[in-house]
């Protein structure tokens, strides 16, 4: 069980899905908690927009880090 939890964030797709779920649920919980369980549409929409903006920022940040430089030696090894 512990090994499965530690392996969750290794795949880029799984990492983004987990982050998205956490951000969306956090936005929903914050909207409902701030207005005693009855948030208006604007508050709910603004929280969800902020969560999506945070996910986009995280995606850009992670994408930069995941780039792999292909050197000529690696290219010859891969395509030979």
Q: Is the dihedral of CA 70, 72, 76, 79 positive or negative?
A: positive
Report pLDDT for 45.
Answer: 93
| Tokens of residue 31, six digits | 């909207």
C-beta separation of 39 from 32 below 8 A: yes
Q: Tally Cβ neighbours within 10 Å of residue 27.
A: 21
pLDDT confidence bin for 66, thresholds 50/70/90: confident
**Residue range 18-43: mean pLDDT, rounded:** 89
Return the biggest CA–CA distance within the chain: 63
Q: Tally Cβ neighbours within 10 Å of residue 10.
A: 8
Length of the chain counted residue by residue: 80
Report pLDDT for 24.
Answer: 94
| Percent with pLDDT over 70 in the chain | 89
On whether the pTM is more than 0.95, the answer is no
């Amino acid at each position: 069980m512990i090994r499965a939890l530690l392996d969750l964030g290794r795949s880029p797709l799984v990492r983004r899905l987990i982050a998205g779920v956490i951000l969306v649920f956090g936005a929903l919980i914050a909207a409902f908690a701030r207005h005693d369980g009855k948030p208006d549409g604007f508050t709910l929409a603004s929280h969800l927009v902020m969560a999506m903006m945070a996910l986009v920022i995280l995606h850009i940040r992670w994408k930069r880090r995941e780039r792999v430089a292909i050197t000529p030696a690696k290219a010859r090894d891969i395509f030979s």
